[in-house]
Structure 1
Amino acid sequence: MTNTDQPSADAGGTPTRLPGMAYVLTGCVAVIGSNSLGLGPIAPAVADSLGSSVPAVMTAAAAFGLGTAASALFLARHIDRIGARRMLQFALALLAASLVVSAAAPIVTVLVVGQLIAGIASGIALPAIYSSAAAIAPPGRETRTIGVVLTGWTLSMVVGVALSAVLADLVHWRAVFVAIAVLALAAIAMLAISKHRDIPATESAPLPLEALQIKGIKPLLIACGAFMAAFYGIYGYLGDYLHNSLGEPVSANGLAALIYGLGFGAAALLDHIVDRFGVKRVMPAAFLATGIVYVSMALLGGSFTAILVAVFFWGLANHFGLNILIMRLSAIDPARRGTLMGLNSAVTYLAGFAGTAGFGPLHTEFGFPIASFVAAGLMLIAALAAAWRQNEEVTQWTAHRRT
């Protein structure tokens, strides 16, 4: 997929400002993030309303992850051929419809179905967003551009998830899904008036699993899987821990999401660190830092204040880990960004499913501290995979195809 609206450097060699499309993509990430991260904090309210349990409600989050993974694996490869913008608009429309189903759910099963469809939509949308972000980045400002787009996850927590918890308290949890559906429609309108256009690839879409044969990509995906399993495993049950173990109100879950989002967003101001020290150093360091955060949650989790401090640094470290993963994967072959980002999203949400489903019994049977120690162990695996990645030379897709 080729970009037709990419800014270039000025006559003095100084990169121009980031394209306006980057901020549109930021908003799209915020919409998707508001749904994908929004269920955890309001899960206790949903469970009470539907006469179910928090783990049962969180199966909807697991279904979302499965839908996203399957969609990213089998549908995202068409982004390069059809065009990221068109695919993104279609995905957001499908997301809006699925959120209406979720809002109207009379039982947990319908909520699960609604979130499964939302996952299918997100599995198309996220690779389209990430591939577009890499395509529109001015030369030399790839890290900064992707970092700006990733701040959509901050918006989803500061404006979306945090307010969702308050909205669930003051109005009803169903209003949360309705509000996100309206935001999805607004994002479609913004894409429609955007000047950005892309030129679809003329080649047929390759099978996504072919990308696994590229030398050096497997360690990146292993790191991604461990990273995301730990994140979703802890995030999915942090709200239940704060509410039922520490006795905090549901709105406190929104505060935790707000603090995480602030940490994630603050890291965007430090993205130059990646350019200064290099990806090879920052990637494993970011994963190890996240592991230390999980250990602190396990040891200091009896204090709500300590949890909030840890959550801030959690967001800070996660921003660097996610940014570098996307940057490295998308750089392998610019003409196949949709396929590679689809593979990234597939691994992300398969790991999200595994984390949400696997950490449920850990949290219920052994408690949140043990679950946090397990998450720290996963981050050690991610750091080792990232270090292994340093010794691998990524082979370009075209060279791989010739062999």
Structure 2
Amino acid sequence: MVVSNLIWSHSVITRRLLLLTAAIAVIGANSLTLSPIAASVAVAFPGRSAADVMTAAAFYGLATAASALLLAAVADRIGAERALVRALWVLCVSLGLAALAPALWVLIAAQALAGVAAGMALPAIYTLTAQVAAKGRESETLSFVLTGWTLSLVVGVGLAALLTDLLHWRAVFVVLALSALALAFGVARCGEWGSVVRSGAPTSPLTALRVPGVPVVLVNVAAYMTAFYGLYTYLGPYLGEVMQFPVSFSGLAIAVYGVGFGVAAPLGRWVDRHETGTVACLVFAGLIVVYLGLAAVAALPLLLLVLCLGWGVGNHLGLNLLLRRLGELDSAQRGAIMGLYSAITYLCVFAGALLYRPIFAHHGFAACAWASAMLVLPALGWALGQWRRKQTALE
């Protein structure tokens, strides 16, 4: 009986993790697929260009940041699983509207609504991941769920391009809408997720910022994400416009990064087995070395690909450590805290592109990589502080 209960419990947890991973994959796929199919989408709207279509992506990002900031705390009041189900319903409706859009402004509005759903869903997903993780396996569990981003990057983008070529770009949004619908039913039918619902005063971004440790970690998140998105934004333009490599090579570099991000998932178990401060020092120091390496080998394509793989591995582990720390600070306000994280992340998409543009224009890709290395230094300093406090406590 005990063995059968353990097997049942393990299967339930695995099913929940698969649902959370798939939810990230669908959300990520929607945020990433518009760029490669923008030209095909523009054909459906006479007088519009691919650049015009990408306005929808900009509104999606802004809506996601605003939603994460204002609505993520709902998960603390009604339970993260209920918040996720509602967000997936809204995502399904928005993606269905995108598939049927008769004009570009409707597509833009649909993507903005999808951003509202994503801003509520992502913090709920990270909250649920922390709730279902077994004690001592928090990083391993989070790594498993984070592979959803790899699926969206490697599988989602490729499938979107294939569906666009074989059927129509609208088929992409139909498939995504049906996936969101299936996930909403799956999460709702999974029963009790062990949600922590706050019974006291309502949570908000302001109450979350008062939690000791949250502001420091969020500052590190802002620098860390700016470092990533700033360099990632100009990787394609550098390879295509400066190095004159074919588009396929740019796609290969991004795919290699995605593979690195995915293959790092099993390392979550290694993180759990060692002292967090020590691991964080190694990970952030290693990521700084990778960024400096990218600056050094920017003109050497094969070495650049190798370092893109290391970039994916390092970024996965660094993201894991930052998210895990945020999830540990206050279980009753995880939704609001994760909302702040998601809002900062999506704002860094714009900040990275804006801040790195003059660096790229005047000093090149290598200077951008060097700037990214410097932006990871605060995270390394924070990790060293954690490690020193741990050592002092042991003494």
TM range (shorter): 0.7 to 0.9
Counterparts of 1:66-85 in structure 2, within 5 Å, are 66-85=62-81
Residue 346, structure 1, aligned to residue 343, structure 2: yes
For structure 1, the residue ranges without an aligned partner over 5 or more in a row are: 1-7, 394-403
Alignment partner, residue 28 of structure 1:
23
**Mean alpha-carbon deviation: is it higher for 29-38 or for 123-132?**
29-38
Give the 3 Å change call, closer, same or farther, for CA 187–10 of structure 1 in structure 2.
closer
Alignment partner, residue 393 of structure 2:
none
Residue 292, structure 1, aligned to residue 308, structure 2: no
For structure 2, the residue ranges without an aligned partner over 5 or more in a row are: 391-395
**TM-score normalised by length of structure 2:** 0.82
Alignment partner, residue 278 of structure 2:
281
**Mean alpha-carbon deviation: is it higher for 119-128 or for 298-307?**
298-307
Residue type matched to 1:374 in 2? A
Deviations 1:222-256 (A, max 9, x none): 11111111222222333343344444554544433
Give the 3 Å change call, closer, same or farther, for CA 201–271 of structure 1 in structure 2.
same
Q: CA deviation at 1:169?
A: 6.4
Deviations 1:18-42 (A, max 9, x none): 4421111111111112123445556
Alignment partner, residue 121 of structure 1:
117
Pick one of 378, 381, 384 that aligns with 1:387. Answer: 384
CA distance in 2, matches of 1:117, 1:254: 29
Give the 3 Å change call, closer, same or farther, for CA 308–333 of structure 1 in structure 2.
same
Alignment partner, residue 131 of structure 2:
135
**TM-score normalised by length of structure 1:** 0.81
Q: How large is the Cα RMSD of the aligned pairs?
A: 3.4
Give the 3 Å change call, closer, same or farther, for CA 169–183 of structure 1 in structure 2.
same
CA distance in 2, matches of 1:116, 1:9: 48
Give the 3 Å change call, closer, same or farther, for CA 179–374 of structure 1 in structure 2.
farther
Residue type matched to 1:377 in 2? M
Alignment partner, residue 98 of structure 1:
94
**Count of matched residue positions in the alignment of Structure 1 and Structure 2:** 382
- The question of whether the paired residues in 1 share the 8 Å contact of 2:94 and 2:111 is answered with yes
Give the 3 Å change call, closer, same or farther, for CA 211–94 of structure 1 in structure 2.
same
Pick one of 325, 328, 341 that aligns with 1:328. Answer: 325
Alignment partner, residue 207 of structure 1:
204
3-state SS of paired residue (1:268)? coil
Residue type matched to 1:33 in 2? G
Q: CA deviation at 1:337?
A: 1.5
Aligned-pair identity (%) = 44
- The question of whether the paired residues in 1 share the 8 Å contact of 2:233 and 2:353 is answered with yes
Give the 3 Å change call, closer, same or farther, for CA 297–183 of structure 1 in structure 2.
farther
Give the 3 Å change call, closer, same or farther, for CA 11–209 of structure 1 in structure 2.
same
- The question of whether the paired residues in 2 share the 8 Å contact of 1:40 and 1:237 is answered with no
